[in-house]
Chains A and B, each alone.
Chain A
Amino acid sequence: MSINRSLSRVPMKISTLVMLFFLSFGTQVFAAHPDVSDAEEAIAAGKSIFNANCRTCHRLDQKNVGPALRGVTDRHSIDWTKRFIRNSQALIASGDAEAVAIYNEYNQLAMPSHEFLSDDELLDLLAYIEYGDKADASAAAAGGEGGEGVAGGTGVPSEYLTIILGVLVLVLFLILVVLGLIISILNKYLDTQKLEEDDKQFVNQKYDFGKILKSDAFIIIITTIVIALVAKTAIDELYTVGVQQGYAPKQPIAFSHELHAGQYEIQCQYCHTGVELGKSANIPSANICMNCHMHIQNVGGKDGISPEIQKIYNAVDNDQPIEWVRVHNLPDLSYFNHAQHVVVGGVECQTCHGPIEEMEVVYQHSSLTMGWCIDCHRQTNIRFEKNEYYDKLVQLHKDSKEPLKVKDIGGLECAKCHY
């Protein structure tokens, strides 16, 4: 299982590379307005604005809560687009025909106003909308949803592995059979030969298994092996006391990370707001759920209200918090800070939490034992680039051939986590 999971990350990386490839060489599909820049900085700036403000409801090339956005400057004037983004409700209220049409087409869902975006920021945003992330389009064109495509790709090597292992076992077994055959053939051959007495005795020697079984040496060896095995099992078992790897409790709401983080690619930080701030990543409060579920009341475009989503509404209506079950229980004696790892260390969420975007029900991916922490601290390089804090450490370390690792700057010391 675990080999399976670690291998599954390789093709993911490959698929990211493929995406990057598409990104860089993708061809332009829409004829965008000439005012919209295709400079990389503008696209990058636009992307962060998009992710922060639009991504919840919009995709570039797919219809979501709102329309697919690419080509918007082709369809509407730049000025109109800006006004619509800034305050669509005002535009609709003013009776603008284009605006009213869109409003009606998308079930009269009001788009929040974005008065705080400056002209330049809007142009950056449009740059991203028109020229950014072309892979999005090709993925959509390929017809598969991103999450599934990746998930589908991961099954292949594990099957190969099983086959290869099976073949290996088969080959070994065949070799064993062949060796047996050879021995019996040779014995038969020797039987046919004239041999001296010594050789004969050697060929036809009989083993007294009873005697061997009763010998001290045998008993000692067997006892030692048994004790060693029992001890090893006991110690291994003891080490798993309190280790909840694989723990996947039933949650009060059947929330699917596979759907939200996987299919809809909602950023982890969108809900887990504390992850860049401090110790706690934060379980989202119900009002964060409501940002989207104000509009999305059921899954897969079905009518009515989903019973699971209804639970959020109940929580908000009754002012009763949702009592989620903690999956990752670090003991109180150890201090862990998300911000240190995510912001400073640049560690991906998946490194510790596993393929969360594939989890229908969240389970504890890593063992969360101290050995596991320490292991990572031994192997991980410090991300000192552009971080003045590490300047002196890097300076002092520069003569060493080894890269600067967490362990080199006190990452294995007790009081880094225990106080």
Chain B
Amino acid sequence: MKENKKTYWKGLEELTNQPEFVKNAEREFPEAPSVLGGEEGASRRDFLKLMGFSLAAASLAACEAPVRKAIPYVNKPVDVNPSIPNYYASTFASGGDYASIVVKTREGRPIKIDGNELSPINGKGVNAIVEASVLSLYDKQRLKGPHIDGELTDWSTLDSQLKSALGSAGSVKIVTNTILSPSTQKALDKFAESVGGEIITYDPVSNYGILKAAETSYGVSGLPTYKFDNAKVIVSFGADFLGTWISPTEFARQYVKGRKITKENPNMSRHFQFESNLSLTGANADYRTPIKPSQSGLAVLALYNALARKGGAATVSGASVEIANIDQAANELWSNRGNSIVVSGSNDPNVQIVINAINDLLGNNGKTVDFSKPSYFRKGDDEKMNKFVTDLKAGRVGGVVFYNCNPVYDFAKGADVEEGISKAKVSVSTNSTMDETASLVKFVAPDHHYLESWNDFNPRSGEYSLSQPTISPLFDTRQAQESFLVWAGESSNYFDFLKDNWSESLMGTQSEISDSQEFWDRSLYNGVYSDGSESEEVSGSVDVSAAATAIGRSYKADNAGAELSIYTKVGIGSGTYANNPWLQEMSDPISKATWDNYLTVSQKWAKDNNVKMVEGATKKAKITVGDKSLVVPVLVQPGQADGTFGLALGYGRTKAGRVANGVGVNAYELLDLSKGFVNYDITEGVSVEITSDAYKIAQTQTHQTYMGRDFVIQEATLADYKKDASAGRYQPKIYKEGEFVKPSKVSLWKGHKYSQHHWGLAIDMNSCIGCGACTVACQVENNVAVVGKQEVLNRREMAWIRIDRYYSSPEGASSNSELEKAADNPEVTFQPMMCQHCNNAPCETVCPVAATTHSSEGLNQMTYNRCIGTRYCANNCPYKVRRFNWFKYHDNKDFSTVNVAQNDDLGKMVLNPDVTVRARGVIEKCSMCVQRIQLGKLTAKKEARKVQDGEINTACAAACPTDAIVFGDMNDPESKITKMLKIEENTTSAVKEVNEERAYHVLEEINVSPNVWYFTKIRNKEKSEA
């Protein structure tokens, strides 16, 4: 009966069945918590003291209730009603990371960010960083006003001193990350003009290689617009386009369009990935080949040559390199000419030129890779920046202005910038915190947070968006553009400047609205505007031979030395938002580690160096690149190419704030600039030595395990699926009265009746890319506490939704050595896991106080004020989704540096007022966003109509960029979920007849009858293999 013979494991300790893992897996809860601060447990005396106190408190409470005030507005704004949320379209842009968003505000406070459905770029999805950015608004470490020499001052003093200082500074350089805003650019140009300055753009995570290649090949300045949805074959050389590369939310949305399959349309794209570190994209690939960074250029050349041979074009010379799957990729690309895409994450312009040539050969230009409608997400010029830093260090720069950028931390030569700033006569920063750069400059003119600002954006040719303030400025800050206008001697304020710009440049591109105010209002309401311009033809021939020669010089087929591939994590990114505890505690999609960066090492290296990683316990290693060295913990990463190491950027902040300071190490200083571009692949001069220092990485991967129960993951290959739609399904049967029946036919329970609604979730594991946006969305929506690294190590993370990442080994592998070999490059499956809202819920039957009960709409309800904390429910939950509040996480100084959203006055403003902040000693879990369900029902009732499908959505489903999570009413015959699950007859019964072959319940054999359905994972592979 066991159809799927793969072995699934969450961590290497599970695969090899380490005793420590088994011990922890068998124990539902970690050992009883010690009192924070190292004291021993409470004594009997303490208990009596507490008793006495509580009695006194209770009697006091009985005498007099505290007087609470109800303070209304003096002048209530017309459209602000207490308890009614308002939504504003706006835009998130940080460096070149861009998302058009909708901001939910309550009583004038932004509390939640969702994607803007009208946006042609990111649509309704946002990634974890954007989702979490609302908390950075309430960061206490933001500057409260302008500073001169580190002293608080006022704006007029700063303006007058700064103007006179700049007047005599000599050459002025304005340093910035990518600016997507035309008006900001204009304001900055005016400022630059007034001081005779030059604008220098760099990006913490540079894509200069692509920009340079586009310039060389086609004379286009900008990144091409990629259309992964049009591609049937996708080949990526180290580009983590689903996780971190350029515009991941957009690409994920497109990618999954080509991966959604049904019985009627069983076609999906095939994805080849060649990379060193196991990235989120690699984890989703059908065929993944681990390669060394030193081979990556040659691999691209090999693909070019293979295609050139097929197309009869001239091949180029290049050292031959044996890389698995290149030929297969070439064959499939060739047979899908015009419907395929080849991308590379390399920052080497030569590699990108060859990539351009490949896409040209395949006829993909204009179809899946469009240079005629360029995107502007990255504009950084590594060469110019490098020259500037050299000049700055040499004291050749008179004045330097840093516009919202932090090169001391996030540029390869940060130390040189640090040294150079003191040599400039005038140094200015508009950064909103005293970060690594701002703390060194003389004048700090802090910018508003983006949720307090007006701005416009032009992320792509023809596409525009606006941002608007959603709250009055919290501090005495000033929008940087306004500062630039003031310093340039302009009289208009930035809002008027922006508005005039908008109507001046865009009013003429449409004819629908004739009034410019109305046009502005409409644009602001929608948040986005497309000018509908036709893209211009781009022509140019790619000169591949020069690039090939250059590649031949700098890449090697057989580098024996260690190689370092520096990457960015999905949650932390470049590190700009590192001071956000939601992002720090979000477990990395692949390593499942929190609160750290680490050196990812291959299993072979670990074995050779005798590193055994069990439950996060590991050792530190010293990595040396040239003359710089860092000591970092190692993390044994299945899928890591042998001989390579990975290290994430974004950590090791020293002046980010109390959350991020001292978390991890700064990898920026290891980046290499010697080839004229920021090189993330360090292939020479790398050495790694293991030290004897023990260390613990807070990984969540093996927490909440299923005790060896099988069939949690059900998957099939596309070929099998085409033959049989139920391929890969495990269909357990139970013996009853002489025959084998489905488990749902055997029940002790009478079964619930759901007469009105039957809420449920359908989760397509083929669409889930594991990005984790849902986990942060859930944290924001439901006031989930952040517990910090130590508590994660204690296995007490509070997340209501987790994404389980399973590695799998090929069928038939049974011996440990075979399994471990497979672990060198395993298949990966992501499974979002939250409360399954079982109809026969095991938790409900064991609660002694009926604190967890079932609703008449299919929800498993958790009543905090009734819970007495026996934790029987969590013990009895087969999915391990119940969380216990071991501590009072709010208003507790022990958690004030990690759980900022529940501990300081400002942080608390982000809390969702509709959801209780849980107390110590109670269990909590996913409520299927019952507050949203109740609100949606109320809206329908007030309007005397039925609930429309789609008007109620859970936070996770709303945030999902790929629609992998679908929420709906299974009693509504018209709902999307009913149609997805093919529920034919709508009954009021809790047990629905589901006809979709791919749909299954996790642990169906125990018949707890969940209301969450999973769809089998389908891989586009020829045969089942790793």
A residues within 8 Å of B by Cβ? 237, 240-242, 244, 247, 249, 273-274, 277-280, 282-288, 315-316, 319-326, 329, 331-333, 335, 337, 339-340, 343-344, 386-389, 391-393, 396-397, 409-410, 413-416, 418-419
Across the interface, which residues of A come within 8 angstroms of B988, CB to CB?
Answer: 396
B72 touches A392 (CB 8 A): no
| B62 is an interface residue with CB less than 8 A from chain A | yes
Give A396 Cβ to nearest chain B Cβ, in Å: 5
Instruction: Indicate if B213 sits at the interface (CB-CB under 8 A).
Output: no
Q: In chain B between 34 and 89, which residues have their CB closer than 8 angstroms to a CB of chain A?
A: 58, 61-62, 65, 67-76, 81-84
B2 at interface by CB-CB < 8 Å: no
- Chain A nearest CB, measured from B938 CB (Å): 5
- Cβ B65 vs Cβ A329 within 8 A: yes
Q: B74 is contacted by which of A237, A286, A415, A419 (Cβ under 8 Å)?
A: A286
Q: When chains A and B are docked, how far (Å) is the Cα of A283 from the Cα of B81?
A: 11
Tell me if B944 counts as interface (CB < 8 A to partner A). Answer: yes
Contacting residue for B71 out of A324, A409, A410, CB 8 A: A324
Residues A344 and B942 in contact, CB atoms below 8 Å apart = yes
- Which residues in B have their C-beta under 8 angstroms from that of A283? 70-72
Residues A387 and B72 in contact, CB atoms below 8 Å apart: no
B69 and A326 form a contact (CB under 8 A): yes
Interface residue B221 (Cβ < 8 Å from any Cβ of A) = no
A-B CB contact pairs (8 Å), 17 listed: A241-B62, A249-B67, A279-B82, A283-B71, A285-B72, A285-B74, A286-B74, A287-B76, A320-B74, A321-B72, A333-B865, A337-B938, A387-B944, A415-B861, A418-B864, A418-B916, A419-B861
Interface majority SS (helix, strand, loop, mixed), chain A: loop
| B165 within 8 Å of A (CB atoms) | no
Assess the A240–B62 pair: CB atoms within 8 A: yes
9-residue interface stretch from B141-149, B250-258, B450-458, B852-860? B852-860
Cα–Cα, bound, A387→B945 (Å): 6
* Complex contacts, B938 vs chain A, CB 8 Å: 337, 339-340, 344
Q: Is the CB of B83 within 8 A of A413?
A: no
Contacts of B74 in A (CB 8 A): 285-287, 315-316, 319-322
Other-chain residue from A249, A284, A316, A331 in contact with B72 (beta carbon distance below 8 A): A284
Majority SS of interface residues in chain B? loop
Task: Tell me if A415 and B76 are in contact (CB < 8 A).
Answer: no
Q: A410-B856, A415-B859, A418-B864 are in contact. Are A277 and B81 (CB under 8 A)?
A: yes
For chain B, give the interface size range. Answer: 35 or more
Contacts of A343 in B (CB 8 A): 941-942
Q: Does B974 contact A (CB under 8 A)?
A: no
Q: What is the interface of chain B, defined by CB distance below 8 A to chain A? A: 58, 61-62, 65, 67-76, 81-84, 755-756, 853, 855-857, 859, 861-866, 914-916, 927, 930-931, 934, 937-938, 940-942, 944-947, 988
Q: In whole angstroms, how far apart are the Cα atoms of A333 and B918 in the complex? A: 9
* Minimum CB distance partner of B866 in chain A: A414
**Residues of the A chain whose Cβ atoms lie less than 8 Å from the Cβ of B855:** 410, 413-416
Q: A415-B861, A415-B863 are in contact. Are A277 and B84 (CB under 8 A)?
A: yes
> How many angstroms between the C-alpha atoms of A316 and B58 in the bound complex?
41
How near does chain A come to B105, taking the closest CB pair, in angstroms? 14
Q: Whole-angstrom distance between the alpha carbons of A247 and B63 in the complex?
A: 12
Are B68 and A329 neighbours in the complex by a CB distance under 8 Å? yes
Most B CB within 10 A of own CB, among A285, A344, A419: A419
Question: Is B61 a contact partner of A241 (Cβ separation < 8 A)?
Answer: yes
Q: With A278-B84, A413-B853 given, is the CB distance from A387 to B941 under 8 Å? A: yes
Contacts of A397 in B (CB 8 A): 755
Q: Which of B71, B755, B866, B940 sits near A321, CB closer than 8 Å?
A: B71
Give the distance to chain B from A385, nearest Cβ to Cβ, in Å: 10
Report B940 CB to chain A, min CB distance, Å.
Answer: 5
Contact A323 B69 (CB under 8 A): yes
**Knowing A333-B865, A413-B855, A415-B861 touch, does A287 contact B83 (C-beta < 8 A)?**
no
CA distance A387 to B82 in the complex (A): 26
The residue of chain B having its C-beta at the shortest distance from the C-beta of A250 within the complex is B67
Please give the distance in Å from A281's CB to the nearest CB on chain B.
Answer: 9
Chain A residues within an 8 Å CB radius of B941: 340, 343-344, 387, 389
Q: Check if A391 sits within 8 Å of B946, measured CB to CB.
A: yes
CB-CB under 8 A from A333, the residues of chain B are: 864-865, 916
Hey, which chain B residues are within 8 Å of A319, CB to CB? 74
* Distance between B203 CB and nearest chain A CB, rounded to angstroms: 43
Beyond A249-B67, A273-B81, whether A419 also contacts B915 by CB under 8 A is yes
Q: Which residues of A contact B76 (CB under 8 A)?
A: 273, 285, 287-288
| CB atoms of A389 and B945 under 8 A apart | yes
Residues of B close to A323: CB separation below 8 A? 69, 71
The docked-state distance in angstroms from the alpha carbon of A319 to that of B71 is 13
How many pairs, one residue from A and one from B, have CB atoms within 8 Å of each other in the complex? 157
List 9 additional A-B contacts (Cβ < 8 Å) besides A316-B75, A410-B756: A273-B76, A274-B84, A279-B83, A315-B74, A323-B71, A335-B914, A344-B938, A418-B866, A419-B930
Complex: A333 Cα to B864 Cα, angstroms: 8
**Inter-subunit contact B856/A409 (CB<8 Å):** yes
Partner of A287, one of B75, B945, B947: B75
Known: A324-B69, A329-B68. A280 touches B82 (CB 8 A): yes
Residues of chain B within 8 A (CB-CB) of A247 are 65
In the complex, which residues of chain A have a beta carbon less than 8 angstroms from the beta carbon of B947? 389
Interfacial chain B residues near A280, Cβ < 8 Å: 81-83
Other-chain contact of B61, A242, A288, A418 (Cβ < 8 Å): A242
Q: Are B73 and A285 touching (Cβ within 8 A)?
A: yes
B496 → chain A closest CB, angstroms: 26
Residues in B whose Cβ lies below 8 Å from that of A316: 74-75
The residues of B that contact A386 with a CB separation of less than 8 Å are: 944
Contact, CB under 8 Å: A414 / B863: yes
Q: A285-B76, A322-B72, A333-B916 are in contact. Are A415 and B944 (CB under 8 A)?
A: no
Pairwise interchain contact B916-A413, C-beta atoms closer than 8 A: no
C-alpha spacing A381/B866, complex, angstroms: 28
Check if A414 sits within 8 Å of B853, measured CB to CB.
yes
A282, B80: Cα distance in complex, Å:
11
A415 & B81 in contact (Cβ 8 Å cutoff): no
If A320-B74, A333-B916, A393-B755 touch, whether A325 touches B853 (CB-CB below 8 Å) is: no
Q: Is the CB of A419 within 8 A of B68?
A: no
A322 to B72, CA, bound (A): 7
Indicate if the CB atoms of B755 and A396 lie closer than 8 Å: yes
- Using Cβ atoms and an 8 Å threshold, which residues of chain A touch B857? 410
A288 — which chain B residues lie within 8 A by C-beta?
76
Q: What's the Cα separation between A142 and B652 when bound, in Å?
A: 84
- Contact partner of B863 (CB less than 8 A), chosen from A240, A286, A325, A418, is A418
A158 to B927, CA, bound (A): 50
Q: Is the CB of A409 within 8 A of B756?
A: yes
Contact A325 B82 (CB under 8 A): no
Give B940's nearest chain A residue, CB to CB: A389
Is B67 within 8 A of A413, CB to CB?
Answer: no
Alpha-carbon distance between A415 and B835 when the two chains are bound, in angstroms: 15
| Cα of A413 to Cα of B858 in the assembled complex, Å | 12
Q: Are A278 and B83 in touch, CB under 8 angstroms?
A: yes
When distances are taken between beta carbons in the complex, the residues of chain A under 8 Å from B61 are 241-242
Question: Which residues on the A side are within 8 Å of B72 (C-beta)?
Answer: 282-286, 321-322, 324
The 7 closest A-B pairs by CB, nearest first: A415-B861, A279-B83, A285-B76, A285-B73, A410-B856, A414-B863, A280-B83
In the complex, what distance in Å separates the CA atom of A343 from the CA atom of B941?
9
What residues of B have a CB within 8 angstroms of the CB of A340 in the complex?
938, 941
A277 to B74, CA, bound (A): 20
Contacts of B84 in A (CB 8 A): 274, 277-278
Measured CA separation A288–B927 after assembly (Å): 39
**Which interface residue of A285, A320, A324, A396 has the most chain B CB atoms within 10 A?**
A285
A329: chain B residues at CB < 8 Å are 65, 68
Shortest Cβ gap from B763 to chain A (Å): 22
Report Cα–Cα, A387/B941, bound state, in Å.
Answer: 7
Residue ID in chain A nearest B856 by CB atoms: A410
Whole-angstrom CA separation of A244 from B65 in the bound complex: 8
Give complex CA distance A284, B945 in Å.
Answer: 30
A321 — which chain B residues lie within 8 A by C-beta?
Answer: 71-74
- A342 to B540: give the CA distance in the assembly, Å: 69
